[in-house]
A and B are shown apart, each in its own frame.
Chain A
Amino acid sequence: MKSETRCIELCKHSGKASFSANKLNLFLISFSAIYLQIALIRSLSAIYYGALTYFINSMALLGFGASGTFLAFFRKKLKRYSGNIVNFVFLYFISIFLSQFITSKLPLNLLYIFYDPSQILILSIFSLLLFLPFFFSGLIIGYILISEKNKELLYGINLLGSGAGGLFALGAMYFIDPVSMAVFALFPILAVLVLFILKRGKTGTMLFLIPLIIVTVFLTIFFPGPEPDQYKDIYQYQLLEKQGDATMISAALSPNGKIEAWSSPSGHSTLFAGLDNEISAPPQLTLFNDGNFLSQLFQIQSASEAGILDNTIQSLPYRTIDNARILLVGDSGLINAWLALRYNPESITVLLPDKSVKKFLEENLSIWTGPLLKNRKVEIIAHDFRHFFTKNKNSFDIIHFASAESLTGSMSGLYTFQEDYSLTVEAIKSAWFALSERGVLSLSRGNQIPAKDNLKILLTLYKSGERLNLSEPERHIYQMSNYLASISLFSKRESNQNLIDKFHSEADKLNLHIEHTPGDSIHYENLINSSIYDVRPSEDGRPFFNSFFRWKSLKDFYELYGPYWFRQSDLGYLILLITLILIIVLAFIFILLPHFWGKSSFQSPFLLFFPLIGFAFMFVEMVLMQKMSLFMGHSSISVSLVLSALLIFSGLGSIVIKKISFSLKIKLLIAVAAVSLMSLLLLIFSDQIIELSSMFSNITGLFMFTICSVTGFFMGWFFAPGLSLLEQKDNKSLPMAWALNGFASVAASPLAVLLSISLGFIVPVICAIILYTIAYIIFYKSLS
C-alpha cells in the first residue's frame, strides 16, 4: 500500500515538473527504505524478541503516511527543489544513524511495561526513533514523485528500487550480522549524497564528501549495533564472557538467524532427567539462534559418556521398542541422538529444519559432532519438517519432536505471536503417516500448574486422531510425567493391555507418574472450556502454540492474583495490545490530526472507501507474511518475499488498471473476486500447496512469490480509481483520503496479528473480503 499511496500522491500533485529526473536517486532511496524495513525486522528479532514484524511494518507505514501528510501541507512552501532533496537525504542519513544509536541506549524493558509507566514513554520514544527514517525516506520519494515529469516511469523505478531493496536484504542476511544490518542502509543514501555533491562540483562541498564517506564506512564497520536485550538468553553468557567464564567459539549467519556456539562450565542441560538421577551432565556447548537458546551439545566422544540420559523422560520410547528406526525432528544439539544411540537402534535420522544449522554442526563444530556423525547408523538431513513429511517414503518406529522440548511454553508469552507450524494438528497428522505399524510419536515438555502446554499437546494429539478418523483416539495416547516434564506418546496401533503394561513397567523404572493412559476418556470440549488458558490445539490456520491468553479468564486471573494478575497471564498478547494502542495514537497524531486543522475536507461520504481498503490490504498482507512461513520455512524469508512481491505488483496493478478496457465497476468487481479467491485458496488448500511446493522444492520461493504477486496485483486496483473518483467529486478531500488510508494501514498491522492469534487467519481474511466488498459497494454507488 505504501508504494501505491506514494504513486497516487504523485498523481494528484502534478506540479510544474521543471526539474531534471532523479531516477537513480529515487531508485537508491526506495532501495534503502525497504532494505531498512527488512533489516530492522531482522535486527529487532535478534536484539529483542522475534515476530516484531508487525511493529516495524506499522512504523514504516506511519513514516510513509506522515510524510504524505507533510507534503500535502508544506509542498507549496518548499521552493528550492534540489536543495530540499539534499537536505531531506541528509536528514534521512542522520536519522538512520541516530535512530540506531539512541534506540541502542534507551533503557527499554518490555517486561516492566506493566510495573513502570515510564516504560510506555520509552516505548513511544523508541517507536518515534524508528519512525523517523521512514518519514524522511517517504518525504524524498514523495517529493521527487510529485515534482518530476513522467510519473509512471518514476513510479516504476520506485517499485523496482523497493523490490531490489527487499531482495538485497534477503541476501544480506547471509553476510551481515543482524544487529548491525540496519546501518548498511546508509550506503545507498551516501551514494545519493555523493551524486549531488559531484554534480555541484564545488570544492567546498567536495571536501564535505570525504568525511561523509569516512563516517559511513567507519559506522558500518565499527558500529557494534545495539547489545542484545538483557532478557535474551545469550546476555547471561556475554556477562560470563566478561569475567572469563564463557567463550563464543563459533558463529554463522543465515536468513534463519545468527547461530552461535558458546562454551562455558555453566551449561548443565540434562534434557529432562528425573530427580533420582545422580549422574552429572557431561561438558557441553550452548547453541543460540538470534540470542535465543537453541540447544545444548554434549562435548563427548561416545554414547557411553551420556549415561545421564538414561534417567530422562525422553528415554521411555527407546526402552519399549527394540532395534528402532528413529527420526529426531529438530534435534539441533544432537543430545537426543546420543540418547537414541544408547538403545541399539537400527538407524537414527536427525531432521533439522535449517541447512545452515546442519552445516554449522558438521563443519564449525565437527570436533564435537564428528564422533556421532561418523557412526554409520546416524544420518543428519536438513529439510523443512512439513515438506519432509509430505515427501517422505520411509517409515519410522519412533518419531521424537525434539523441537518441542522446552520447559515452558514461551518467554513471558513474548513468543505468543510467533507462528509455529511444527506443533499443529496438521503437523502431527503428517508425521503420523511416517510411522511404522509399531511406531510412536513422542513429545516432551515442561510441567505447569495449572496444566497448560502438556494439556494443549494432549488435546492436539486427540484432535489429530479425530482428523485421522481413529475410532477412539484416546486409546492411542499416553502421557506420563516426572517432577520436571511430561512425555506424550501417540501410538500408531490401538493400545492393548500388553502394550500398556509394557509402557507402565518402563515408566515405573523412571519413577514416572501416569497422567493419561489409553482407555481413559478425554473430554475434549470440557477440558478446553474449563481451562483458564487457551488450550485449543493449534492448527495451520492458527499456528500459535505459545499463545495461552484467554479473554474469558481475565476475571479469574484478577480474582486469583489481584492487581498483578497480568504476571501470570500471557504478557505477549497484552504487549501486542499496548503497542496497537500506541501505534493508533501515533498514527492519529502524525497522519490524521494535521488534516483536521488544515484545509482538508472530510465531508464526502466516499472517504470511507479509503480506510476500508487500507485495513483490507494490511489484513491480507499480514496473513500472507505469517502463512508464507509455513511454505518457506522461516519468517524472515517469508516477510522479505511477501513485502517485495506486494510492493512491486500492487504498484504494477495500479498502473495496469488504467490500461484495461473494462468499465471501472467490472474491474473493481474482478479485483474483489480475485483477492478473495487467492486468499481463501491459500488458507483452505494449504495442505495441497505444501504438497505441490515440496514436489518442486527448488522453486518454492518462486511459486510463493507468484501467489503473492497475483494477490498484490489485484489489491493494487483499488486505490488509484478511488482517488480519481474522489478528485472528481470533492477535490479538497484528497489529502484526507490519503491520510485515512495511511492511518488504517498502520493500525491494521497489529490488529491483524491479534485477530489471527485469537480467531485464526481466516478472520482477518474474511474481514478483508467484507471490507473490500463494502468498499466496492461504496465505489459502485458513488460512481452511479
Chain B
Amino acid sequence: MRGFIFSLFIFLLITGFGSPDLINESDIYSELRIEMVDRQIVSRGIKDEKVLNAMRSIPRHLFVPEESKQMAYEDHPVPIGFGQTISQPYIVAFMSELLNIQDGDKVLEIGTGSGYQAAVLSLLTEYVYSIEIIVELAESAEERLNSLGYDSVEIKIGDGYYGWVDMAPFDKIIVTAAAGHVPPDLIRQLKPGGMILIPIGRPFSTQYLTKIRKDKNEELSAEMILPVRFVPFVGQAEE
C-alpha cells in the first residue's frame, strides 16, 4: 500500500498535477485578470472601455519576476527588483483613464520599469515613447514588450528629466515615478492643450498625483488628484 501511494505521489509530481503552471496557465491567469478588472478597477469607478479592455488582455503576470507571479493580479504593487515595482492595477487604470488618450495621441512615459504601463498605453494609441534610466530594466522591458507583440512602444535609456526632445511635442506625458517637481523640459515638450500626470513627493513617501494642464494659450495649471506612493524618479511606479 505504501509503495502504491509513493508511486502515485511520484506520478503526480512528474505529471505536474496540481500545478497551475503546467495544467493550463493561460486560462487561470486570464480568469484572474478578468476578476482583477471587475473587482479592483470597475468597482472603483473606472469606466473607459478601452482602458478596461487593455487591462483585460495584457498578461500582467509576465511583467513580474517569476517568484512574484502569484501576486501579479492582487490589489497592490509588486516588487520587480532594483527597488522598483509594477504599479497597483487600479493606479495603472486610473492614470490611463485620466490621461484621456485619443487615437493618434503622442504619449511620453517617464519610467518604463517592467513595461506594463507602456503596454496598456500602446493599446490606447500607437505612438508611445518610454524612457527608463536603469539600463537592465529598459533592456528587459523592451525585450518583453517585443516578445508579447507590444512593439509599437519605443524605449530610450536615459534621464527622463529632460524628456525626449527628438520626439516632442507630446499630447500627454505620464510620469510613473516620484518627482520633486515638474521638470521644465517636460513642460516645454508638452503641446498646448496637453496634460502631464506626475506624482509629486519623495520616493516611498505618500506623493500626490498631480495633473498639469497647458491650455491653448500655454497657461499652466496644476491640480492635486489623489495620494499615491511611487518609487524614485529614476525608476518605475509603485502604487
Contacts and interface: CB of A to CB of B under 8 A. Distances in A.
Interface of A: 109, 111-112, 115-116, 230-231, 233, 235-236, 239-240, 243, 245, 265-266, 268-270, 272-273, 275-280, 293, 406-412, 446-449, 483-484, 563-564, 567-568
Contacts of B183: 268
B201 A408 contact: yes
A483 B202 contact: no
A125 B224 CA distance: 41
Instruction: Across the A-B interface, give the 4 residue pairs with the lowest CB-CB distance, nearest first.
Output: A483-B222, A230-B83, A408-B205, A115-B76
B184 A278 contact: yes
Nearest to A449: B224
B239 interface: yes
Secondary structure at chain A's binding surface: helix, strand, loop or mixed? loop
Given A239-B134, A276-B220, A408 B232 contact: no
A109 B76 contact: no
A279 B83 contact: no
Given A235-B83, A268-B183, A411-B205, 4 more contacts: A240-B133, A278-B184, A407-B201, A408-B202
Given A407-B201, A408-B206, A568-B206, A266 B83 contact: no
Contacts of A410: 205
A275 B82 contact: no
Given A268-B161, A483-B222, A236 B83 contact: yes
B101 interface: no
B204 A412 contact: yes
B176 to A, nearest CB: 15
B235 interface: yes
A191 B28 CA distance: 60
A768 B106 CA distance: 65
Nearest to B185: A280
A276 B220 CA distance: 7
B192 interface: no
Contacts of B74: 115
B202 A411 contact: yes
B202 A231 contact: no
A295 to B, nearest CB: 12
B210 A483 contact: yes
A448 B227 contact: yes
Contact of B207 (A109, A243, A265, A408): A408
B159 A265 contact: yes
Contacts of A273: 181
Interface size class of B (residues with CB under 8 A): 35 or more
B229 interface: yes
Nearest to A448: B208
A268 B11 CA distance: 60
Contact of B234 (A111, A240, A407, A449): A240
A575 B207 CA distance: 20
Contact of A449 (B71, B79, B205, B208): B208
B133 A407 contact: no
A239 B82 contact: yes
Contacts, number: 109
Nearest to A452: B206
A407 B200 contact: yes
Contacts of B201: 407-408, 446
Contacts of B134: 239-240, 243
12 contacts: A233-B232, A240-B134, A243-B135, A265-B159, A268-B161, A268-B181, A408-B206, A408-B207, A411-B205, A447-B208, A567-B239, A568-B227
B205 A239 contact: no
Interface in B212-232: 212, 220, 222, 224, 226-227, 229, 232
A448 B83 contact: no
A288 B128 CA distance: 35
B166 to A, nearest CB: 18
Nearest to A238: B83
B180 interface: yes
A567 B229 contact: yes
B133 A266 contact: yes
Interface in B178-207: 180-185, 187-188, 200-207
B97 interface: no
B75 interface: yes
A230 B180 contact: no
Contacts of A239: 82-83, 134, 234
Contacts of B82: 230, 239
A447 B181 CA distance: 12
A275 B200 contact: no
Contacts of A231: 83, 203-204
A279 B183 CA distance: 10
B64 to A, nearest CB: 13
Contacts of A446: 200-202
A265 B233 CA distance: 13
Contacts of B180: 268-270, 407, 484
A116 B229 contact: no
Contacts of B133: 240, 245, 266
A116 B234 contact: no
A109 B238 CA distance: 14
Contact of A272 (B159, B181, B222): B181
A138 to B, nearest CB: 36
B184 A279 contact: yes
Nearest to A570: B206
A121 B80 CA distance: 21
Nearest to B210: A483
Contacts of A233: 203, 232
A484 B234 contact: no
Contacts of A275: 182, 187, 212, 220, 222
Contacts of B210: 483
A449 B159 CA distance: 29
Contacts of A270: 180-181
Contacts of B188: 278
Nearest to B81: A230
Contacts of A276: 220
Nearest to A296: B180
Contact of B204 (A269, A272, A278, A411): A411
A111 B231 CA distance: 12
A280 B227 contact: no
Contacts of A240: 133-134, 234
B76 A236 contact: no
A235 to B, nearest CB: 5
A266 B206 CA distance: 22
Nearest to A450: B227
Contacts of B202: 293, 406-408, 411, 446
Nearest to A112: B79
A293 B227 CA distance: 22
Contacts of B76: 115, 564
Contacts of B212: 275, 483
A427 to B, nearest CB: 22
A293 B185 CA distance: 24
Nearest to A561: B227
Contacts of B206: 408, 412, 448, 568
Of the candidates B75, B83, B180, B207, the one having the most CB atoms from chain A within 10 angstroms of its own CB is B180
Of the candidates B134, B135, B202, B206, the one having the most CB atoms from chain A within 10 angstroms of its own CB is B206
A410 B208 CA distance: 14
A406 B184 CA distance: 20
A406 B227 CA distance: 16
Contacts of A269: 180
Contacts of A116: 71
A283 to B, nearest CB: 13
A236 B235 contact: yes
B193 to A, nearest CB: 17
A231 B230 CA distance: 11
Nearest to A511: B220
Of the candidates A239, A448, A449, the one having the most CB atoms from chain B within 10 angstroms of its own CB is A239
A266 B181 contact: no
Contacts of A112: 79
A511 to B, nearest CB: 9
B205 A412 contact: yes
B121 to A, nearest CB: 24
